[in-house]
Chains A and B, each alone.
Chain A
Amino acid sequence: MSQRHPVLTMTAISKHFPGVRALDGVDFRLFPGEVHALMGENGAGKSTLIKVLTGVYGTDAGTITLDGTQVSFTGPMQAAAAGVSTVYQEVNLCTNLSVAENIFIGREPRRGGAINWRQMRRQAQEALARLDLHIDVSELLGSYSLAVQQMVAIARAVDVQARVLILDEPTSSLDADEVAQLLRIMRQLRDQGIAILFVTHFLDQVYGIADRITVLRNGRLVGEYLTADLPQLALVEKMIGKELDALEQLDSEAGKDPARVAEGSPLVEADGLGRSGAVAPFSLTIHAGEVVGMAGLLGSGRTEVARLFFGADRADKGQLVVDGKPVAIRNPIAAIDRDIAFCSENRRTEGLIGELSVRENIILAMQAARGWLRPVPRRKQDELVQRWIEALSIRPADPERPVRNLSGGNQQKVLLARWLITEPRLLILDEPTRGIDIGAKTEIQRLVAQLSDGGMAVLFISAELEEVLRLSHKVAVMRDRQLVAQLTNDESLDADRVMRAIASGARQEGLEKA
């Protein structure tokens, strides 16, 4: 086993983007006939590594060798031609074409210059049969489920004589049966000698199929392990890490008195709230002045919970109770009317309007609530904006600058300011500190603590356990789209216990009475 040679070796790969060190001397190797899981949280560098490998990005340093020869692909095309095929999370095929065409387009069998449809269908059938998939290949791809589309994508990738198959989160939108079938096919391909690089957020799948695990964190290699040697808890630890960073400890008295805030009636209560395909029904209460931290790996359903609370997606199960009364939150407007605010993790696509100025972005939600006919008077706008620019020290302190020209941390503060001026009672923060510098991070954490002291309820979602533990009164743990534990943040709670909950999904552990 150890004598085998890796089919693919990446050595000391580094990649910088302005202001970000996306990859820093990362090594990675892939053996034929094995499934190798690439693990890491958001911003760990997984997708950058894949993009460097397939030639979407160039490298700043480091080498890639395929079968012993050094390669440097100019793009996914060239990579595929050399035997490195990628199947992406969103199926990158054409749903308006037939299954057969999706496997063969660009290299259709021809006879006398014309496409030989019969031969193409036959070959497609054979290719899919090898994956144990028996479907009508002349049907449009779009008429099949996402799982089948995913298989077709794999069939296409494998059919071009792939030796390395990269599966980038292929299971994120599949249900349990579909995942099972996909894993079966992966095993089959592995047994045929194909090297599979598998990216997923589901620990079960990793332990169900992967032979080897490489963990990245913050653009650095944490290590390469045989799956058998790495217990789940250890994996989670390695992914999340225990950052001994320069963050100052916040005052803990206010932040950690669960008894104080749990008194009185809850502000918002999710009662069996759920949405099929997104998050299993869950119940969670949030009191005024309480910070509920939400921990869990990426893709565990954290964001989906937040979106249900805010009405960004419509729940199809259960109900939301606000102030003791059940309310239908069908859209964000309904949530805003009940003083719920939501800062999305995708600042650029779901938060800010890049073209508009800092001032306009800040007053947007307030203005939307008032309706366009009652503009916020300019003087009041300037006053509010000025106050929040100062309070959150947004830099540059120029309210008329287009918000897209600000740094990530300052953009995050603008988004925060937008909701804070609406004086919400529940503030939902989805990864508010991701991708921003340490100074801004501390400021935002301090702000959250202040707000909660002032009586605001906060749902604080973060991948960093340290900050969740530091801020929250209660920690809700998500795993595989389920709320698996609610832990009261008293002296006995530490990162280890939360990690164990994330890793094992211990439902019983410290379940809090609601």
Chain B
Amino acid sequence: MSTVKARLAPVTGHRLFWPLVMLVVLLVANTVYRPSFLSVELKNGHLYGSLIDIVRLSAPLILVALGMSLVIATGGIDLSVGSVVAVSGAVACLWISEQPDQNSLGGVFTALAIAFGLALVLGVWNGVLVAVIGIQPIIATLILMVAGRGLAQLITSGQIITINSEPYKTIGVGHLLTLPFAIIIALVVAVIVAVLTRRTALGMIIESVGGNAEASRLAGIRSRRITLLVYVVSAACAAIAGFMMTANVSSADGNAAGLWVELDAILAVVIGGTSLAGGRFYLSGTIVGALIIQTLTTSVYAMNIDPQTALLFKAVVVIAVCLIQAPAFRARFRRKRTLAPPPPPAPTAEKQKEQVPA
């Protein structure tokens, strides 16, 4: 018995274990409810099926959550991604809608470039507020979260800009090599972020800054630059997600585009095992987290429950995952199970010196 336990420990102890269990449970539940759920078929050279849909629909969330992972790893948070999604989508659609030929590739690329550039500016804005002026991340990004919505509506003049551009539409619903184009984009961005962080030293330095800012400074790390950079990356990811979301519906709605996406993204990151306190980040976990959220939404939808009611399930998942990961919660259970005395408070002695900025 104990040997089985011991052998299972590395599996159950893996940080992806519980998120994956959650994902599998959701998939099984769906399959029980609707046996055709797992089937994937090839039509006109394109793959179709519920699973493919889930991945395709979760692509924007994956993108936003990837950027968010880096921000959270530095101990920050980016509430403005939803607004950046709305702004970038709105700018791209506005530019395309004013082209004589909405299908011209040149026009679409110019639109993307302008929107992407603006998003980078917004990212720099956030980064400067946090890294240079030293405002708490949650507050600094709240500014753009509020104002960015207004900016998006200003750009669209409060209208829903509808476009009819095949190249742009491809970003959301097109196919490439039998796979939906959105999935490929998300995959490419994921690979880029992974390479950027794990093939260079960026990832380690981000984790170092998030893990212990003062020790990082004394090791000679220029943490301001790194902090600024992650907000820019986050905004860039949000911009691409914005293109994808608006392309999905071939229209830009400054009010609704990207609504709540910041919350979902933070959730995905947390489910994926990255601590909100900063430090180690797990891109693979984030992707699994995003898939869980989208599967939940899709399955609730498939079960003919109002999509808004899906929020109820989401609430349960958030609390469950956070509780499982909370040290205080685990400690409570462990104490009950083994009745072991609590660990001596010696290591926390120095923690008292942390002062909350008043």
Contact = CB atoms under 8 A, between A and B. Distances in A.
A372 B74 CA distance: 15
Interface residues of A, number: 44
Contact of B217 (A47, A332, A375): A332
B199 interface: yes
Contact of B218 (A142, A312, A375): A312
A398 to B, nearest CB: 15
Nearest to A307: B218
A20 B349 CA distance: 15
B279 interface: yes
Nearest to B222: A333
B201 A372 contact: yes
Interface stretch (A189-197, A259-267, A347-355, A445-453): A347-355
Interface string A130-151: 0000000000001000000000
Contacts of A17: 344, 346
Contact of A356 (B207, B226, B349): B207
B341 to A, nearest CB: 10
A344 interface: yes
B216 A353 contact: yes
Nearest to B344: A17
A332 B218 CA distance: 6
Name the residue among B207, B215, B358 with the largest chain A CB count within 10 angstroms.
Answer: B215
Contacts of A375: 199-201
B98 interface: no
A90 B214 CA distance: 19
B220 interface: yes
A113 interface: no
A367 B350 contact: no
A374 B358 CA distance: 39
Given A90-B353, A353-B211, A364-B208, A373 B344 contact: no
Name the residue among A96, A333, A353, A370 with the largest chain B CB count within 10 angstroms.
Answer: A353
Contacts of A374: 200-201
Contacts of B212: 349, 352-354
Name the residue among A367, A374, A418 with the largest chain B CB count within 10 angstroms.
Answer: A367
B304 interface: no
Given A17-B346, A95-B358, A96-B358, A353 B208 contact: yes
Contacts, number: 98
B218 A350 contact: yes
B208 to A, nearest CB: 5
Contacts of A57: 344-345
B255 to A, nearest CB: 38
Interface residues of B, number: 30
Contacts of A370: 201
Contacts of A342: 218
Nearest to A57: B345
Interface string B192-234: 0000000111101101100110111111111000100000000
A360 interface: yes
Name the residue among B207, B222, B279, B346 with the largest chain A CB count within 10 angstroms.
Answer: B346
A56 interface: yes
A369 interface: yes
A365 interface: yes
B226 A372 contact: yes
A22 B346 CA distance: 10
Given A349-B350, A365-B219, A372 B207 contact: no
B218 A372 contact: no
Interface string B308-322: 000000000000000
B344 A142 contact: no
A355 B199 CA distance: 20
B280 interface: yes
A374 B199 CA distance: 10
A373 to B, nearest CB: 6
Contacts of B211: 353-356
Contacts of A372: 200-202, 205, 226
B3 interface: no
A52 B37 CA distance: 62
Interface string B175-190: 0000000000000000
B2 interface: no
Contact of B208 (A18, A360, A373, A376): A360
B338 interface: no
A355 B279 CA distance: 7
A133 B38 CA distance: 78
Contacts of A349: 212, 214-215, 350, 353
B44 interface: no
A321 B241 CA distance: 53
A56 B208 CA distance: 32
A336 interface: yes
A94 B355 CA distance: 11
Given A355-B211, A355-B279, A375-B199, A368 B219 contact: yes
A142 B358 contact: yes
B259 to A, nearest CB: 34
Contacts of B215: 344, 349-353
B154 to A, nearest CB: 37
A443 B156 CA distance: 69
Interface of A: 17-18, 20, 22, 47, 56-57, 90, 94-96, 142, 310, 312, 331-333, 336, 342, 344, 346, 348-356, 360, 364-365, 367-376, 418
8 closest Cβ contacts across the A-B interface? A368-B220, A375-B201, A353-B211, A336-B220, A368-B221, A372-B202, A17-B346, A372-B201
